[in-house]
């Protein structure tokens, strides 16, 4: 039944008009609903060529269109669209559809084009992270200067980027560290992030990395984690998956780039046998310590570049498929001799942009599009900050020191709050200090906030955006007729599904007496064969009988609806539908 519902709603959305003409002669009146010729023609042209049609074809379509409107009128009369479930689904669809109107389309298009450009390449980069002690300007500047100093040391070749990452980076993964679970030392990555592509890392970092040339080191750049220096070590055409086999030689010295004597002896023997054309798979069976892949000839599951260490991926890309990279690659606890089976390049086409658009909508970079729209709406709605400064001062002076750590203090009950002027105004809205207080209360339960004024200032933009976008969302139907039409289409489609279920589909199944009577009346229509007119038993043709009974119920139902609701066709308008 759910599939039927989806098909009905899809049919309505695809075939219903997306614009409604204003101040035009009507074509059709069904009950209280007046339909213009433009709406009807737009509906018709969704699936038909108006230039190749005739008035007779239009007349037939008008009959179907009228039946649809009659059913919707009856569904509304039965108040099928007033249930909580119905309204919840309609609201969900409406809010989902509204999202495309709550962004700056120009900015979104630029983000899509940017991601599409990045998507053509995989990058390998290293970074050094510099934490910022607090949001105080002095701490921010100190972190920035430290990053500049370290960059200068690297550029002057006083130390390598990897050495600087181990010595100075605040990213714990850069240094060797003790694993608390197995008490073993886990080697650091020396800042190496391996290969990545668009959406794998935070947006500001991604942009900075893709703007570098191989071998370059960025200036200090900021993310929510702190300041970063980024070193771009490789840039390759995007890869979807790599297929490879390996011979794994367990060796704890590998984490330091060294081989034990036993491993070196085994490695040299493997190289000799490879040179003697011994099959790679045979050597896997004889020497590999990866018991999970021995029976598969050493074959690993296909992997994307970002799923393996950078050195491992680099080794795979250093030889052509079918060949063996005889340069062993170190991992945390062993060495790998790799045979490449296949490298599948990522197929990037114009169709990719649709998928990227969906990813962007779920990514933090989409905030740029919303922020741009808010700035435009501020101008359009004459945004003015009126009592912001006074409100922030009030909260700084009246909020208890432990407010953000407490869950019992009610900020909305602070004496004098209601007397404060509006924090800001826009359109016909005056946003009060009480509303700002409610917004601030969402952050209760956090750690102690040292500077209340700065905290409110930092979050004030979000508060403004939330109010303006909520107002814009509420007035979308007024601003965009096509959006209003889209919601109406879905609304009517839902009503059609509900009323058809009640009056036809479910009724035909549940009305066992009526169904049996229909069979008895029409059983001659279900002969055993072309040569044998004996009717098939009811149970054998029940599904077909239900379908036919539904058709009869629908026909009689529509006839009754035509008696119940007045249908008026403006014949003068209809006769001129095909005239230019």
pLDDT at 15 over 50: no
pLDDT at 80 over 90: yes
Q: Which residue has the tokens 């009610």?
A: 410
Q: What is the three-state SS of 223-245? A: ECCEEEEEEEEEEEECEEEEEEE
Side-chain-facing half-sphere of 363: CA atoms under 13 Å: 21
Average pLDDT over residues 136-140: 88
Q: Which residue has the tokens 């086999």?
A: 245
Cβ atoms of 73 and 473 within 8 Å: the answer is no
Return the pLDDT at 13.
42
> Predicted confidence band at 19 (pLDDT cuts at 50, 70, 90)?
very low
> Predicted confidence band at 20 (pLDDT cuts at 50, 70, 90)?
very low
More confident residue, 121 or 177: 121
> Predicted confidence band at 210 (pLDDT cuts at 50, 70, 90)?
very high
Query: Which of 38-42, 124-128, 137-141, 266-270 shows the lowest per-residue confidence on average (mean pLDDT)?
Result: 38-42
Return the pLDDT at 547.
94
What single-letter DSSP state applies at residue 296?
Answer: T
Highest-scoring range by mean pLDDT, 50-59, 128-137, 360-369, 386-395 = 386-395
DSSP labels, 396-439: HHHS-TTGGG-SS--GGG-TTGGGSPPSEEETTEEE-HHHHHHH
> Predicted confidence band at 3 (pLDDT cuts at 50, 70, 90)?
low
Q: How far apart are CA 206 and CA 127, in angstroms?
A: 12
Return the pLDDT at 303.
97
> Predicted confidence band at 84 (pLDDT cuts at 50, 70, 90)?
very high
244-259 confidence digits (pLDDT tens): 999 999 998 998 889 9
Q: How far apart are CA 499 and CA 577, in angstroms?
A: 31
Residue 184 backbone zone (phi > 0: left; psi -120 to 50: alpha; other: beta): beta
How far out from the chain centre does Cα 252 lie? 42
Return the pLDDT at 557.
96
> Predicted confidence band at 179 (pLDDT cuts at 50, 70, 90)?
confident
> Predicted confidence band at 402 (pLDDT cuts at 50, 70, 90)?
confident
Give the other-Cβ count within 10 Å of 494's Cβ.
23
Collect all residues with Cβ–Cβ distance below 8 Å to 317 and sequence separation of at least 6: 236, 239, 242, 343
Q: How far apart are CA 259 and CA 470, in angstroms?
A: 63
Collect all residues with Cβ–Cβ distance below 8 Å to 91 and sequence separation of at least 6: none
Return the pLDDT at 42.
79
Could you tell me the two tokens for 463? 């508060």
Determine which helix (DSSP H) or strand (DSSP E) holds 327, and give its type and residue range.
Answer: strand 324-330
Q: How far apart are CA 179 and CA 531, in angstroms?
A: 82
Average pLDDT over residues 64-84: 96
More confident residue, 8 or 577: 577
Give the other-Cβ count within 10 Å of 291's Cβ.
8
Q: How far apart are CA 308 and CA 297, in angstroms?
A: 20
pLDDT at 85 over 60: yes
Average pLDDT over residues 540-557: 95
Q: How far apart are CA 164 and CA 154, in angstroms?
A: 7
The CA-atom distances, in angstroms, between 44 and each of 18, 39, 53 are 12, 9, 10
504-530 confidence digits (pLDDT tens): 999 999 999 999 999 999 999 999 998
pTM score above 0.85? no
Return the pLDDT at 2.
52
Closest by Cα among 494, 525, 521, 511 to 553: 511
Give the other-Cβ count within 10 Å of 157's Cβ.
7
Give the CA radius of gyration of the chain.
35
Q: How far apart are CA 287 and CA 301, in angstroms?
A: 20
- State residue 131 phi and psi, 5-degree precision: -65, 155
pLDDT at 183 over 80: no
> Predicted confidence band at 21 (pLDDT cuts at 50, 70, 90)?
very low
Average pLDDT over residues 318-335: 94
Average pLDDT over residues 175-204: 89
Q: Which residue has the tokens 């909260």?
A: 395
Average pLDDT over residues 95-116: 94
Q: Which residue has the tokens 């962004």?
A: 103
Query: Which of 57-61, 131-135, 208-212, 392-396 shows the lowest per-residue confidence on average (mean pLDDT)?
Result: 131-135
> Predicted confidence band at 23 (pLDDT cuts at 50, 70, 90)?
very low
DSSP labels, 451-474: -HHHHHHHHHHHHHHHHHHHHHHH
- State residue 50 phi and psi, 5-degree precision: -60, -35
Q: How far apart are CA 122 and CA 188, in angstroms?
A: 23
Burial class (CB in 10 A: 0-12, 13-18, 19+), 45: middle
pLDDT at 92 over 70: yes
Closest by Cα among 71, 80, 68 to 11: 68
Q: How far apart are CA 238 and CA 240, in angstroms?
A: 7
Q: Which residue has the tokens 């984490």?
A: 255
Give the other-Cβ count within 10 Å of 299's Cβ.
16
Q: Which residue has the tokens 């771009």?
A: 232
Mean pLDDT of the chain: 91
Query: Which of 13-22, 191-200, 272-281, 445-454 shows the lowest per-residue confidence on average (mean pLDDT)?
Result: 13-22
Return the pLDDT at 580.
58
38-56 confidence digits (pLDDT tens): 888 878 888 888 888 998 9
DSSP labels, 24-61: --EEEEETTEEEEHHHHHHHHTTTS-GGG--HHHHHHH
222-242 confidence digits (pLDDT tens): 999 999 999 999 999 999 999
Antiparallel, parallel or unpaired: β 121-130 and 33-36: unpaired
């Amino acid at each position: 039944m759910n599939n039927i519902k989806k098909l009905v709603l899809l049919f309505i959305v695809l075939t219903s008009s997306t614009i409604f003409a204003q101040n035009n002669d009507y074509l059709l009146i069904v009950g209280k609903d007046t339909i213009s010729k433009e709406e009807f023609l737009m509906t018709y042209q969704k699936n038909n060529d108006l230039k190749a049609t005739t008035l007779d074809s239009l007349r037939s379509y008008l009959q179907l269109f009228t039946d649809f409107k009659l059913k919707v009128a009856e569904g509304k009369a039965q108040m099928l669209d007033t249930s909580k479930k119905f309204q919840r689904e309609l609201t969900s669809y409406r809010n989902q559809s509204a999202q495309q109107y709550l962004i700056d389309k120009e900015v979104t298009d630029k983000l899509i084009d940017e991601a599409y450009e990045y998507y053509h390449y995989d990058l390998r980069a290293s970074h050094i992270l510099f934490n910022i002690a607090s949001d105080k300007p002095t701490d921010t500047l100190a972190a920035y200067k430290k990053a500049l100093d370290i960059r200068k040391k690297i550029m002057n070749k006083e130390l390598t980027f990897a050495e600087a990452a181990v010595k100075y980076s605040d990213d714990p993964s850069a240094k060797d560290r003790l694993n608390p679970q197995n008490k073993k030392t886990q080697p650091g990555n020396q800042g190496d992030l391996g290969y990545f592509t668009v959406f794998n890392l935070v947006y500001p970092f991604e942009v900075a990395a893709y703007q570098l040339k191989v071998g370059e080191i960025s200036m200090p750049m900021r993310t929510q984690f702190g300041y970063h220096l980024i070193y771009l070590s490789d840039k390759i055409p995007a890869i979807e998956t790599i297929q490879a086999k390996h011979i794994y030689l367990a060796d704890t010295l590998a984490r330091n780039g060294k081989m034990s004597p036993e491993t070196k002896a085994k490695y040299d023997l493997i190289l000799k046998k490879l040179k003697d054309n011994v099959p790679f798979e045979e050597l896997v069976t004889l020497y590999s310590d990866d018991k999970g892949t021995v029976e598969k000839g050493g074959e690993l599951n296909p992997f994307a570049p970002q799923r393996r260490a950078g050195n491992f991926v680099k080794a795979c890309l250093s030889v052509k498929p079918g060949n063996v990279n005889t340069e062993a690659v170190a991992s945390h606890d062993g060495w790998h001799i790799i045979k490449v089976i296949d490298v599948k390049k990522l197929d990037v086409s114009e169709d990719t942009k649709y998928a990227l658009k969906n990813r962007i909508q779920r990514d933090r970079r989409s905030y740029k599009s919303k922020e741009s729209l808010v700035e435009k709406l501020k101008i359009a709605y004459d945004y003015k900050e009126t009592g912001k400064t006074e409100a922030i001062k009030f909260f700084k002076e009246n909020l208890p020191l432990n407010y953000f750590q407490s869950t019992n203090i009610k900020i909305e009950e602070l004496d004098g709050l209601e007397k404060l002027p509006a924090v800001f105004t826009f359109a016909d809205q005056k946003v009060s200090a009480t509303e700002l207080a409610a917004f601030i209360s969402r952050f209760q339960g956090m750690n102690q906030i040292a500077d209340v004024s700065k905290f409110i200032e930092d979050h004030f933009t979000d508060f403004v955006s939330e109010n303006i976008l909520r107002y814009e969302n509420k007035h979308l139907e007024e601003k965009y007729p096509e959006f209003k039409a889209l919601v109406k289409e879905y609304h009517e489609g839902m009503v059609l599904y509900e009323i058809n279920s009640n009056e036809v589909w479910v009724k035909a199944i549940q009305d066992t007496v009526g169904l049996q009577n229909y069979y008895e009346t029409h059983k001659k229509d279900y002969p055993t064969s072309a040569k044998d007119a004996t009717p098939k038993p009811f149970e054998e043709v029940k599904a077909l009988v239900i379908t036919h009974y539904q058709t009869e119920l629908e026909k009689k139902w529509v006839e009754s609806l035509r008696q119940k609701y007045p249908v008026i066709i403006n014949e003068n308008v209809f006769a001129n539908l095909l005239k230019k």
